[in-house]
Amino acid sequence: MKICFVMYPWDKVEPSKDTTMRIIKECVDRGFEVSYLTKKDISIAKGKVVGNCKKMITTETNDCVEFYHTMKFESSIKDLTEFDIIFMRADPPIDPLLLNMLELIEDKVFFVNKISGLRKANNKIYAASFDDGLETIVPQTLITKDIDLIKSFVEENNFEKFIIKPLDGMGGKGVILFERKNIGNLSSICDFYINHTGYSQPIICQNYIEGAEKGDVR
């Protein structure tokens, strides 16, 4: 089986904790032919979606960090329909132009996850729809540009600890933990997150779940 990963640059991988690296290693351990590329490596040529693919040449090891550091690659331009599976592991939000290109071959290759699904869930707004107020699946969540609404949300729900984070991002980047007693410092942080790009954008406020500092285990 031939598998291709659409992901972030190899030098951005943190092998000790990277989920994509563990999926790649599992595929290699099962004897599959594995390649990777980044979004800049994908083009359309003569009506075909092609990519500058890096085929992975590995040494046998049980250690993920060693697996990463000893990896070698063979580069070649390939028609992406030659692959049986394409894993979509690019950092969110995924470029809509990239989705447009890959959508052309969605019926010819098995995508994980489907392009239509990535369009629907291209940021954290989709996950917020699972908030039932009881924290059954996700923490209590508010997505807003209104700082006063954030303060009311924290007060009304008696959060002792809560987090503020940008709408886009992953791996804990930009997440700030607040304690309710320090809510006076909230306005300046929220104002920065909402307006730092030059135009206002929503941010996320969530109840803090104990144990989150141990990482995301799926």
pLDDT for position 139: 92
Same domain, 131 and 166: yes
Tell me which DSSP letter residue 173 carries.
T
The interaxial angle of helices 186-195 and 147-156, nearest 10 deg, is 130
* CA atoms 130, 181, 176, 64: torsion sign: negative
Q: How far apart are CA 4 and CA 85, in angstroms?
A: 6
Contact 36, 56 (CB under 8 A): yes
102: domain CATH number is: 3.40.50.20
- The per-residue pLDDT for range 197-215, each reduced to its tens digit, is 788 889 999 999 887 666 5
- The per-residue pLDDT for range 176-185, each reduced to its tens digit, is 999 888 887 7
Contacts of 15 (CB under 8 A, 6+ apart): 21, 64, 65, 67, 68, 69
- Report which residue type is found at 1: M
- Residue range(s) defining the domain that contains residue 58: 2-120
Cα-to-chain-centroid distance, residue 210: 22
Below-70 pLDDT ranges, the chain: 169-171, 212-218
Same domain, 29 and 96: yes
Contact 162, 208 (CB under 8 A): yes
> Alpha helices, DSSP H only, in 167-213?
186-195
- Report which residue type is found at 71: M
pLDDT for position 94: 85
First-last CA distance in the chain: 25
The residue among 90, 120, 150 that closes a domain is: 120
Contact 37, 53 (CB under 8 A): yes
Contact 4, 83 (CB under 8 A): yes
pLDDT for position 218: 45
Same domain, 110 and 138: no
Number of domains in the chain: 2
Same domain, 43 and 101: yes
Same domain, 140 and 63: no
**pTM for this one?**
0.78
pLDDT for position 120: 85
Same domain, 87 and 173: no
Same domain, 141 and 62: no
Same domain, 103 and 183: no
Phi then psi dihedrals of residue 8, to 5 deg? -80, 165
